[in-house]
A and B are shown apart, each in its own frame.
Chain A
Amino acid sequence: MTHQHPALTTEQKKELSDIALRIVAPGKGILAADESVGHMAKRLNQIGVENTEENRRLYRQILFSADSRVKKCIGGVIFFHETMYQKADDGTPFVQMIKDKGIVVGIKVDKGVVPLAGTDGETTTQGLDGLWERCAQYKKDGADFAKWRCVLKISENTPSPLAIMENANVLARYASICQQNGIVPIVEPEILPDGDHDLKRCQYVTEKVLAAVYKALSDHHVYLEGTLLKPNMVTPGHSCPTKYSPEEIAMATVTALRRTVPPAVPGVTFLSGGQSEEEASINLNAINTCPLVRPWALTFSYGRALQASALSAWRGQRDNASAATEEFVKRAEVNGLAALGKYEGSGDDSGAAGQSLYVANHAY
């Protein structure tokens, strides 16, 4: 550790930092619309719609046709590869529609999980091969940030030291390659909510995982000011009998982050991990009203928790398109408020917003 061989020029650093700050500007978060073909199948299945490329295009069009109200609450949209090259009915590329609203375009770049032999069903994530070239191309095609999801699980013997170390390392390699190509890496070390463990256990594991992630990022000379973190909130396992309030979840989450995430990281964009739309908003709001000092933006990068109501409203019918878009805009605005600690809750736990979106052992 003697000499520095600068990984990035001053100009490159500034560009990355500017992009990151735009995405997590106050009151803004991310729409994670990067469901793979297989995962869109599950979503569309739930509303009785066939999983065709056209239906996937029509559905994303609903989200991307949102009016200027989303400019205030959406800072970035994560795309799946197929979607990057799709267009609206009038021929406007989706990428352009998003950029025209002043929203940053992002791309999922990982290639899914693969098993770690000799472990208790643990995985790492693949996608490093040719990543450099892919990032360079995506940058040309309009993407300014990327996302890579690693998955860890809490059980009697997991996550193991190998799983933590290997996933942290692969996240750091991905982040390094992104930055070399002008792309802000969103680092996502998701600890699944599956299991009956309590809040404390999740906090403990989350702290260990995040400490390993940031050590790996340091080892790989990643420029933290040009990254974002997409972690799980600290919550009990889905089958845990003890119930916790949003304030308890907020305290556990913010404490874990304060102990592990360097203040140089500009923003933390939580995944919703199976929480209902309302739960995800209420928890995010509690996080932003937590009395502890929070040196990073704390906002959302939600998939299901931004889209569930929109999907139910659409049900594959063109006539329902505007109603569906309206549902999306509503959730986006609510989460924008939650990111500022200003959301007071709908009081309405019924319907799509209150329904738990938990799918066992979710891999997306």
Chain B
Amino acid sequence: MTHQFPALSPEQKKALSDIAQRIVASGKGILAADESVGTMGNRLQRINVENTEENRRAFREILFTSDTSINQSIGGVILFHETLYQKDSTGKPFTALIKEKGIVVGIKLDKGTAPLAGTNGETTIQGLDGLAERCAQYKKDGVDFGKWRAVLKITSTTPSQLAIQENANALARYASICQQNGLVPIVEPEVLPDGDHDLQRCQYVTEKVLAAVYKALNDHHVYLEGTLLKPNMVTAGHSCTKKYTPQDVAVATVTTLLRTVPAAVPGICFLSGGQSEEEASLNLNAMNQSPLPKPWKLTFSYGRALQASALAAWLGKSENKKAAQEAFRKRAQINSLACRGQYVLSGKTDTAATQSLFTASYTY
């Protein structure tokens, strides 16, 4: 560790830092619309819509043709590869639709999980092969950030030392390659909510995982000011019998982050991990209201928790487009308020918003 061989020039650093700041600008978060074909299948099945390329395109069009004012709540959108090259019904590319609203375009870069032999069903993530070339191409095609999801699970014997270290290392390699190609890497080390463990156990594991992630990022010379973190909130396992309030979740989560995430990281965009739309907003709100210090932005990168109501309103019918857009706009605005700790629960709860979106051992 003697000499520095700068990985990035000052201009490259500034460009990355500017992108990251734009994504998590005050009151803004990320729409994670990067569901793979298989995962879109799950979503569409719930509303009895066939999983065709056209249906996938049609639903994303609904989201991306939202009124421009959506840019007050949405700073970035993560796309799946197929979606990056799709167009709306007038032939306008989705990337153009998104960018003209001043929203940053991102791309899912990982290629899913691969088993770690000799472990208790643990995995690492593949996708490093040819990643530099893919990043360079995506950058040309309008993308400014990437996302890579690593997955860890809590059981009596997991996550193991190997799983933590291997996933942290892969995340750091991915992050390094992204930055070399002008893409801000969103680093996602998801600790799944599956299990009956309590809040404290999740906090302990999350602290260990994040400490390993930031050590790996440092070892790989990643420029932290040009990254974002997408962690799980610290919550009890889904089958845990004890119930916790949003304030409990907020304190446990923020404490964990204070112990592991350097202040240089501009923003932390939580995944919703199976929480209902309302739960995800209330928890984010509680974090931003917490008196604990928060040197990074605390915002959202929600998939299901931003889209459930919109899907339920759409039901695959084009005449429901406005209703679906309104449902999406509402959730986006609520989460924007939650980013500022200003979300006041109205008392009216609609079914889709509170329905748990948990799918066991979720992989998307």
Interface residues of A, Cβ cutoff 8 Å to B: 1-4, 154-161, 164, 200-201, 204-205, 207-209, 211-212, 214-215, 218-219, 224-225, 255, 258-264, 293-295
Contacts and interface: CB of A to CB of B under 8 A. Distances in A.
Interface stretch (B138-146, B210-218, B245-253): B210-218
Nearest to B208: A1
Contacts of B259: 218, 224-225, 262, 264
B215 A2 contact: no
A156 B261 CA distance: 31
B1, B264, B295 — most chain A CB neighbours (10 Å):
B1
A240 B299 CA distance: 44
Contact of A293 (B154, B215, B263): B263
Given A1-B164, A2-B157, A215 B211 contact: yes
Report, as a range, how many residues of chain B touch the other chain.
35 or more
B204 A4 contact: yes
Contacts of B201: 3-4
Given A260-B218, A262-B258, A201 B161 contact: no
Nearest to B212: A215
B105 interface: no
Contacts, number: 95
Contact of A164 (B1, B156, B205, B295): B1
Contact of A255 (B155, B208, B264, B295): B264
B264 A1 contact: no
Closest 5 CB pairs of A and B: A218-B211, A211-B218, A4-B204, A204-B4, A264-B258
A262 B2 contact: no
B1 A1 contact: no
A250 to B, nearest CB: 15
30 contacts: A1-B160, A1-B161, A2-B156, A2-B158, A3-B156, A4-B204, A155-B2, A156-B2, A158-B2, A160-B2, A161-B1, A200-B4, A201-B4, A204-B3, A211-B214, A215-B215, A218-B208, A218-B211, A258-B262, A259-B262, A259-B264, A261-B262, A261-B263, A262-B259, A262-B260, A262-B261, A263-B258, A264-B258, A293-B263, A293-B295
B255 interface: yes
Nearest to A4: B204
Contacts of A258: 262-264
Given A161-B1, A207-B218, A2 B263 contact: no
